[in-house]
Amino acid sequence: MRALLTTKTARRALRPVADLIDQRIERRIRQVMGGGEAGLERRVAALSNRQRPLELLLDATGRGTSRLPAQVHLTRVIDELERVTGDREGAQRNVAQAFRLLMALESLGVGRIAGGTMNICGKLSAVPLLDPPNDEVLEIGTLYGMFGAALIRMMERAGRDPRLTIVDPLAGLQLQPGTTEGDDPTGTPVRGAAVRTNLALAGAAGAAARIQQGFSGDPEIRALVGDRAYGVIIVDGDHSAAGVGADLEWAEEIVAPGGIVVLDDFGHAKWPGIKEAFEKHMAGNTRFTFLGQVANSGYLRAR
């Protein structure tokens, strides 16, 4: 049969049928391609135009950092949170909720939360999961106060009643010794009014937050702020080794037994002074035990 179909006569007789099949296939391809390569390009352009408004909600424009994590980043932060807190289910839930909260606050607030998306979601997730011994929270270095507002929300979601104290020079821009930080990508000056607006987004606990304008190393500020024992201390002010070392020494004095200290930008290539100060501090006499690292933050618990 095969031999019969491949004879010259058979091929000539079957050619009209083969041509008809070819034409049908070509017509179908043209339909799928929507008019050839040009048509395909038109359709891709139309699709990316439709996607652009969604990207605007999440990309780096006007805040300096993209908020579009890939699945690999989400998986890694959840694994790290599980190692530090022992609660995988809580980590998965909190990361999703923290991510939505970050989008909401940056959409509605003034300025931004500093740092990478997974580092922010990691801190917002870890603090309530680590079950601090009381609800007093101290943030050293707040920039726009938006992280403090977000942390209030995450603590309340865990059934806590957070009371936030903030220390920051609120100097118009981010102050960092040894570096020249330019204008913020948001275009918004760092000032008390911005911090208040953002804290107001966190309801009654945000409005009740104490803001101490000044430097964490200033004895007057220390006397005012050191009036209580804190369940949580976020160290995110002066990022130099000397600055972080001084904040860690102060934290030893004002953290409650069982309290949590978060060292922001821990292991970040741009801020080597943070790990340097941590290593020096941990080599001495300390109440702190290192719990581990999630994204770019280190977690300590006080005895």
Ligand X SMILES: C[S@@+](CC[C@H](N)C(=O)[O-])C[C@H]1O[C@@H](n2cnc3c(N)ncnc32)[C@H](O)[C@@H]1O
| For ligand X, the closer CB: 81 or 262 | 262
Q: Stretches 4-12, 230-238, 269-277, 294-302: which one binds ligand X (CB under 6 A)?
A: 230-238
The CB-of-74 to ligand X minimum distance in angstroms stands at 20
162 near ligand X, rule: CB under 6 A: no
Q: How far apart are CA 50 and CA 48, in angstroms?
A: 5
Amino acid letter, 167: V
* Residues 101, 186, 166, 236, CA torsion sign: positive
> Which residue in this structure is represented by tokens 């933050």?
297
Residue 51 Cβ vs ligand X, minimum distance, rounded to whole Å: 28
Among 85, 216, 296, 297, binds ligand X (CB under 6 A): 216
Query: Based on the number of CB atoms within 10 Å of its own CB, is 87 exposed (0-12), middle (13-18) or buried (19 or more)?
Result: middle
Q: Which of 262, 269, 145 is nearest to 211 (CA)?
A: 145
Residue 262, strand partner residues: 234, 299
Tell whether residue 226 is a contact of ligand X (CB under 6 A): no
CB 174 within 8 A of CB 186: no
Stretch that binds ligand X, among 3-11, 70-78, 82-90, 134-142 (CB under 6 A): 134-142
Residue 54 tokens, joined: 């969604």
In the region spanning residues 48 to 107, those forming contacts with ligand X, defined by CB under 6 A, are none
Taking the CA atoms of the chain, what radius of gyration do you get in angstroms? 28
**Does residue 116 interact with ligand X by CB under 6 A?**
no
Determine if 193 is a binding residue for ligand X (CB under 6 A). no
d(CA 106, CA 104): 6
Minimum CB distance to ligand X smaller for 36 or for 178: 178
- Which range in 191-199, 211-219, 252-260, 274-282 contacts ligand X by CB under 6 A? 211-219
Asked if 266 interacts with ligand X (CB under 6 A), we say no
Q: In this chain, which residue has its C-beta nearest to ligand X?
A: 141
Q: Are strands 255-264 and 230-235 parallel, antiparallel or unpaired?
A: parallel
Task: Give CA–CA dist 88/97, Å, rounded.
Answer: 14
Tell whether residue 142 is a contact of ligand X (CB under 6 A): yes
Select from 122, 162, 243, 259 the one that contacts ligand X (CB under 6 A): 243
State yes or no: residue 141 binds ligand X (CB under 6 A): yes
Residue of 80, 106, 168, 184 interacting with ligand X (CB under 6 A)? 168
Span near ligand X by CB under 6 A; candidates 24-32, 142-150, 276-284, 289-297: 142-150
- Does 215 bind ligand X (CB under 6 A)? Our answer is yes
Contacts of 164 (CB under 8 A, 6+ apart): 137, 138, 139, 148, 151, 152, 199, 205, 206, 209, 210
CB of 107 to ligand X, least distance (A): 16
Identify the residue among 106, 136, 184, 236 touching ligand X (CB under 6 A): 236
Q: How far is CA 255 from the centre of its chain?
A: 25
Select from 167, 194, 202, 232 the one that contacts ligand X (CB under 6 A): 167
Give me the sign of the Cα torsion angle 28, 47, 66, 72. negative
Question: Is residue 237 part of the contact set for ligand X (CB under 6 A)?
Answer: yes
Token representation of residue 2: 């095969």
Binding site residues, ligand X, CB under 6 A: 113-114, 139-143, 146-147, 167-169, 171, 174-175, 190, 215-217, 236-238, 243
